[in-house]
Chains A and B, each alone.
Chain A
Amino acid sequence: MGKANGMTTPLDRSGAEDFLYAEARLIDEDKLEQWLTLFASDGIYWIPSDENANPVDETSIIYDDTSQLEKRIYQLRNKHLAQDPRSRTIHFISNVQVEAGTNAEENIVRCNQIIHEMRPGDHQQLQPGLAVPRSFAACCLYRLRRENSEWRIALKQVILINRDLPLQNISFIL
């Protein structure tokens, strides 16, 4: 996956789509350890509340480097209460555009995503919000970098439509 067709072939839209679909599928199928390998070692997963703020000095919904992502995934597998029951997700991806990078080894890919999410609920479905599908609309920006002929995520930024409003439980991977 994400294989470049020879060292000099630039990333085109169909190549970008293949990459994004495969990435989303790993999340939706809960193959998160494999998903993490798509990131460059210095890769960043950023869900901003203000995409113009400096995430090192200001609050974000999530601003994870790969070591934090590794922790996040470990916690998801180890009784994270906010994820008991775990969220199910289905990603829809559209409006894919590739921006020419400064060189053939790095590209910006923009896309829109609708992420449907649901936690299945307890047997009586007592808790408000459980067993209720939610949808998150986002404008996404990926910075993809070619490493050893594979595309890797240097940055995945998910700019939610309601990022600056109070949000309820985003403890799943978007």
Chain B
Amino acid sequence: MSTPVQTSTYSGLVKETATDFSVHASVYTDPAIFDAEMRNIFERSWCYVAHESEIEKPGDFRTSAVGRIPVIVSRGDDDKVYVNINACRHRGTVICREERGNVRYFVCPYHGWSYHRDGSLNNITDRDNFAEGWGTDIKGLVAANRVEVYHGMIFASFSDEVPALEQSLGPLKKYVDFWFGHALDGTVRVLKPWRASYSGNWKLQLENSTDGWHARYVHISALKTLSHFGNYNPKVGWTGCTRGFSGGHGILERPRIDIPHDLQDEFDEYERVLEKHYGKEQGKQMFVRRHITLFPNLQLMEFKLRVIQPVSVNQTIVYEYPVELTGTPDHINKAIRTRLLKEVSISSGSPVSGMVNADDVEIFARSQAGLTSGRMEWVRLARGIHREVAVSNNERSGQDMDELPQRALYREWARRMG
């Protein structure tokens, strides 16, 4: 663990001047800071917990988490989405073990207490053996304070104070809408995920997905391999931009250039389909490639959702859900899926074993190892800080390799940690 820094507040662990930006190593390595993050950030934000396409019918459920709080996300008989803590009100026993399924009732295996599909109490067993009037305070599982659904994404919060979801997104909303505009009817279906774990802090993945600088180094072997086999000509001198938002959100924006030759026709057609559907200008916006961070645990990536699940200060799970674009021609979906599932581009493959993402995950473990060494105190995130452009009070933009989304993340981190 790093040497404790002389500061009385967590926000002192992020230092900013007009030309420099640093984050203290303990932010990645101190278990006490991790605990505070779970309370101050995860439990008081909108956390992504599931996608509606995973729970289509009444009684469908999936288990998930908000920080370290295990939750059941379910569809009630009224067709609404519910998020409840996955613990029986009796003795706290975890009720659901499966990743997903369908139930008539949620029944605790310990003493048989049962709950309806929406989490409300169905039955406390052996009622006769309790004092009269006992248990009337128990209405059901402990529900998340707030639940909202946007483009099929289900978000939950364990705070009453969090602003409405759209307000939390602020100017990011426009870009989230663009991303879902990839599907002609504005929504997606998620496939089963890749599931990867790594020995590093959760923020290392969050930083990396909008880092436009690392690819030419971390992914050099993937780029070299793809070039060698002539799938396409990867251009590393990319153009584009970065965006950072209040609320910790961020974007890496680039043209979609890594299309393998044999899928080029489908992607060209897809671009024309978008332009026809939305109009030329809007359609072009839709076709721009964006990696979008919805602070703190969701990233909209190249045709996949990336969900970050912190486990401990130095252990993280990443779930990646490829999406199927609804209302979009099958052969275009097929081309998109082929590019994701086969090792044919820098957008391909799994974080467990893929040519590209496995190298990122390795870097996270490698960074964690270096940060844990103790005396390398300050992580530097200053690239391009001198040329950040304020688009509005809530949005800044910069060049595509600038560490601008990372700074937005840590400005919000400092604000939330206090």
Q: Contacts A49-B192, A171-B353: A166 and B197 contacting too (C-beta < 8 A)?
A: yes
| Complex alpha-carbon distance, A171 and B193, angstroms | 18
In the complex, which residues of chain B have a beta carbon less than 8 angstroms from the beta carbon of A79? 220-221
Is B218's CB under 8 angstroms from A59's CB? no
Q: Say if the beta carbon of A135 comes within 8 Å of chain B.
A: no
Is B341's CB under 8 angstroms from A63's CB? yes
* B290-321 with Cβ < 8 A to chain A: 314, 317-320
Q: Say if the beta carbon of A68 comes within 8 Å of chain B.
A: yes
A59, A127, A128, A169: which contacts B341 (Cβ < 8 A)?
A59
A71, A126, A128: which contacts B355 (Cβ < 8 A)?
A71
Over the window 125-169 of chain A, the binary record of Cβ atoms lying under 8 Å from chain B Cβ atoms (1 yes, 0 no) is: 011110000000000000000000000000000000000111111
Q: Say if the beta carbon of B94 comes within 8 Å of chain A.
A: no
**Size of B's binding interface in residues, CB under 8 A:** 46
* A47-75 with Cβ < 8 A to chain B: 47, 49-50, 53, 55-64, 67-68, 70-72, 74-75
Q: Contacts A58-B191, A59-B194, A64-B343: A127 and B369 contacting too (C-beta < 8 A)?
A: yes
In the complex, which residues of chain A have a beta carbon less than 8 angstroms from the beta carbon of B225? 71, 74-75, 78
In the complex, which residues of chain A have a beta carbon less than 8 angstroms from the beta carbon of B415? none
Q: Contacts A59-B191, A126-B372, A170-B352: A78 and B224 contacting too (C-beta < 8 A)?
A: yes
Query: How near does chain B come to A125, taking the closest CB pair, in angstroms?
Result: 9
Nearest CB in chain B to that of A55: its residue: B341
| Complex alpha-carbon distance, A64 and B194, angstroms | 16
In the complex, which residues of chain A have a beta carbon less than 8 angstroms from the beta carbon of B363? 81
**Size of A's binding interface in residues, CB under 8 A:** 39
Q: Contacts A59-B322, A79-B220: A129 and B199 contacting too (C-beta < 8 A)?
A: yes
Query: How near does chain A come to B91, taking the closest CB pair, in angstroms?
Result: 27
Q: Contacts A57-B337, A61-B350, A80-B355: A127 and B342 contacting too (C-beta < 8 A)?
A: no
A64, A164, A167: which contacts B196 (Cβ < 8 A)?
A167
Is B343's CB under 8 angstroms from A68's CB? yes
In the complex, which residues of chain B have a beta carbon less than 8 angstroms from the beta carbon of A75? 221-222, 224-225, 355
Q: Say if the beta carbon of B80 comes within 8 Å of chain A.
A: no
Over the window 181-212 of chain B, the binary record of Cβ atoms lying under 8 Å from chain A Cβ atoms (1 yes, 0 no) is: 00000000001111111110000000000000
Nearest CB in chain B to that of A68: its residue: B343
Nearest CB in chain A to that of B365: its residue: A127
Q: Say if the beta carbon of B271 comes within 8 Å of chain A.
A: no
In the complex, which residues of chain A have a beta carbon less than 8 angstroms from the beta carbon of B366? 127
Q: Say if the beta carbon of B359 comes within 8 Å of chain A.
A: yes
Q: Say if the beta carbon of B373 comes within 8 Å of chain A.
A: yes
Q: Say if the beta carbon of B368 comes within 8 Å of chain A.
A: yes
Is B358's CB under 8 angstroms from A71's CB? no
Query: How near does chain A come to B265, taking the closest CB pair, in angstroms?
Result: 19
Q: Say if the beta carbon of B362 comes within 8 Å of chain A.
A: yes
Is B343's CB under 8 angstroms from A72's CB? yes
Is B352's CB under 8 angstroms from A169's CB? yes
Is B358's CB under 8 angstroms from A129's CB? no
Interface centre among B198, B353, B363, B372 (most CB of A within 10 A): B353
| Complex alpha-carbon distance, A137 and B366, angstroms | 27
Query: How near does chain B come to A124, taking the closest CB pair, in angstroms?
Result: 9
Q: Say if the beta carbon of A22 comes within 8 Å of chain B.
A: no
Is B198's CB under 8 angstroms from A168's CB? yes
Please list the residues of chain A having a beta carbon within 8 angstroms of any beta carbon in chain B: 47, 49-50, 53, 55-64, 67-68, 70-72, 74-75, 78-82, 84, 126-129, 164-171
8 contacts between A and B (CB under 8 A): A61-B194, A62-B353, A126-B369, A127-B366, A127-B369, A128-B365, A168-B196, A170-B352
